Structure 1
Amino acid sequence: MATRPLGTIQVDVDELWVYYESIGIPSDRVVASPVYTVGVPRLLDLFEQYEIRATFFVCGRDLEHPLRREIAQEIVQRGHELANHSYSHPMGFARLQGRALKAEVMEADARIAQIYGRPVYGFRAPGYSLNPELLQLLERAGYLYDASLLPTPWSSLMRWGQRLVSQGNVDTAHYGKWAYGRAPLTPYHPDMEAPERPGDARLWEVPVTTMPWVRIPFHSTFVATFGWWLFRLGLALLRRRGIGIHYLIHPAELLDPVRDARLSCYRFLHLPWSQKRPLYEAILHRLTEAYHLVPTAEYLGERLPLVPGEAEPVAPMAEREVV
């Protein structure tokens, strides 16, 4: 049997409050934790079934909640990587600068490191919304990679479509810039002033997978919305080009119906898990046939301990020298 190329599955653990904030409802009114208590455990069980080790991007704010923190600890105990998804998942992340940007990264890093017990290697910005200052901050802080860039020229069209179905505002920084459609489809060292161009940074940019040629985003939210045909097309194009995969999943997609009409723009929140499960099992089955799936830091060459305690404890970013 031929050796499978490496790939990753990356999980953005956006709790329900993130979806409410995206349509303008203050998150302090949302106290339920279905993503952590239902979506993440279902995903962990599926990963165990298919022998997958993945990367989970978590928000620091959620780790202040005892139950969510306990589930994050289980993620680590089951052999997965924890990475940084900002502290409070602010919309328009690319407009943050200076102290505000540093606080979003640092405060999340400190909380993740307490659970992880080793360096936090990776970061993904909310809404695929990055700027050069973010990359410079991550490089100074010793991060291995950023995974924020969505290499598609269709960002404006995607914002328009989301605005249409949500009947609300979509931040102009969401999905990134049109210029990012020129970025490589595989991991590269970016130019710190123009992240879509290869440069001489030590930091890796691990772009969210998009389909070759057509540059349509290829992750499970799109597949859950448009159907199995999109997955088959995307996987075929990637394999034809010999491109590794960094497949993105949101555990909110694995929930039972969320009975709130205000979230009707998120179709996947209104379907029963019994209806969605065969799709996710088929996706993971096909991905594990095609790729050897490992955490992102391991993909880039860092050996991650299989269980907690194999690595020396690391100081959180707040205690590292970041200027």
Structure 2
Amino acid sequence: MSKPTASLSLDLDNKWSYMKNNGAKGWEEYPSYLDIFVPYILKLLEELDLKLTFFIVGQDATFEHNHKYIRMIADAGHEIANHSFKHETFLHLYTREELEEEVDRAHTILKAVSGREPKGFRGPGFTWSETLFEVLEKKGYTYDSSTFPTIIGPLARMYYFRTSNLTVAQKRERKELFGKFSDGFMKLRPYFWKLKNNKRLLEIPVTTMPFFRIPIHLTYLTYLSSISKQLMFLYLKCAIYLCKLTRTSPIFLIHPTDLLGSDMVTGMEFFPGMQIPSNEKSVIFKKVINIFAKHFTLVTLEEYASGIYDKNKINNNRITDVY
């Protein structure tokens, strides 16, 4: 009997984007760790014989010193996807014209640098709007993966604001960062947004634990490991059991900070978990991926979306159209 599918993706948020969203000084100089992180993660993925989706920020692709590393990702066979141009966590406040420019600028530069045309999009900080979906559909995108059905978004935002140096105005812009409590009641399994003129766009939510709607991506697992590794693995196994019970194909999310510690990247001590050594994080990563691989066939989001577009798969998974 074939295993169900799980999809893996990595939001390639660079050092400057973390600094920007934290209100740290110096982000305007666009400090980068791509030269450290990309070879590091590609080596780990090669060891695991694993392909995943890289959501890349367009701004990073404008710098020639990053071109080598973006091409390395594409040349290794990983999917290149759009993570916006400026990585601002309030896309829901953008006008249609601003969204069109944001998507187009990132799309154009990523395609030019990587040689791959992005077909998927994820909003920074899980921000989205119906207008964004209309822009993506018009642009010919296959899927969006910006929704994050969790009930703890407001708590995460409160902690984030309390530990940041953001101004009152900047916090106001980010008032929907990580989503609302009501987002925890959104669909966990893929569905189609109904748009104007009978158009539609496939939505692939980032998976949270079924029933409980609490996060299961690597950032949270790594945090739990700092308390107790036994607790982390119990938490993960519970999440996998509930995903299989509810026939939910996990969309598992990774960030660079899940693999990098302060021993490899300096100036990011403000971010939780950076005190954990990089080699310890890589061990956790490998163990988590191997657990997923025991239960699921691991694919990129593009591969997963392609399967969904098959009519029989849509019917079998009971994917519905929603507003």
TM-score range (shorter-chain normalised) is 0.7 to 0.9
Q: TM-score normalized by structure 1?
A: 0.84
Q: In structure 1, how many angstroms separate the alpha carbons of the residues matched to 2:26 and 2:137?
A: 31
**Among residues 178, 181, 184, which one is paired with 1:178 in the alignment?**
181
Q: How does 1:203-242 map to 2 (within 5 A)?
A: 203-227=201-225, 228-229=232-233, 230-242=235-247
- Structure 1 residue 37: deviation in Å? 1.6
| Partner residue in 1 for 2:252 | 247
- Over the residues paired in the alignment, what is the CA RMSD in angstroms? 2.1
After superposition, the Cα gap between the structure-2 partners of 1:117 and 1:168, relative to the gap in structure 1 and judged at 3 Å, is closer
**Structure 1 residue 20, shift from structure 2 partner:** 0.5
Could you tell me how far apart the structure 2 residues matched to 1:51 and 1:167 are? 40
For residue 30 of structure 1, report the CA deviation from its aligned partner.
Answer: 4.1
How far apart are the structure 2 equivalents of 1:53 and 1:83?
13
For residues 302 and 30 of structure 1, the distance between their equivalents in structure 2, rounded to whole angstroms, comes to 41
1:214 to 1:167, Cα distance in 2 relative to 1, 3 A = farther
CA contact (8 A) 1:8 1:295 kept: yes
One-letter code of the match for 1:9?
A: L
Q: TM-score, normalised by structure 2?
A: 0.84
Deviation (angstroms), 1:54: 0.6
- Kindly, what percent of the aligned residue pairs are identical? 29
Larger mean CA deviation between 144-153 and 43-52 belongs to 43-52
2:109 is aligned with 1:93: no
Output the CA distance in 1 between the equivalents of 2:307 and 2:211: 31
Q: Tell which deviates more after alignment, 68-77 or 251-260.
A: 251-260
Structure 2 distance, partners of 1:90, 1:269, is 22
Q: How far is 1:242 from its partner?
A: 2.5
Match of 1:17 in 2: 16
Alignment of 1:255-294 (within 5 A): 255-257=260-262, 258-260=265-267, 263-294=268-299
1:149 alignment counterpart: 147
Matches within 5 A, 1:62-101: 62-101=60-99
1:316 matched residue in structure 2? none
Letter in 2 for 1:276: K
Tell me how many residue pairs correspond in the alignment. Answer: 293
Letter in 2 for 1:189: F
Q: CA deviation at 1:226?
A: 1.9
Q: Aligned to 2:140, what secondary structure does the other structure show?
A: coil
Q: What is residue 128 of structure 1 aligned with on the other side?
A: 126
Kindly state the Cα deviation for residue 31 of structure 1 after the two structures are TM-superposed.
Answer: 4.1
Please give the per-residue CA displacement for 1:145-178, whole angstroms capped at 9, x wherever unaligned: 0000011232212211222344656521211233
Instruction: Read off the aligned partner of 1:243 and give its amino acid letter.
Output: T
Q: Is it true that 1:52 corresponds to 2:50 in the alignment?
A: yes
1:117 Cα deviation (Å)?
A: 3.3
Give, as a single letter, the amino acid of the residue that structure 2 aligns with 1:272. P
Query: Is 1:92–1:174's contact at 8 Å kept on the other side of the alignment?
Result: yes
> What amino acid maps onto 1:249 in structure 2?
I
**What is the aligned partner in structure 2 of residue 187 from structure 1?**
190
Greater relative contact order, per chain length (Cα 8 Å cut-off, separation 6+) = 1
Instruction: Supply the distance in 1 between the matched residues of 2:257 and 2:179 (Cα, whole angstroms).
Output: 22
1:150–1:207 contact (8 Å) kept in structure 2? yes
Counterpart Cα distance in 1 of 2:102 and 2:38 = 23
Q: Match for 2:193: what amino acid?
A: P
| Correspondent of 2:305 among 300, 304, 310 | 300
Contact 1:50 1:288 survives alignment (8 Å): no
- 5+ residue gaps, structure 1, are 194-199, 304-323
Q: Which residue of 2 aligns with 1:315?
A: none
Match of 1:137 in 2: 135
Separation in 2 of the partners of 1:173 and 1:256? 28
Paired with 1:31 and 1:154, the residues of 2 have a C-alpha distance of: 31
- Matched to 1:176, the amino acid is G
- More displaced, 11-20 or 218-227? 218-227
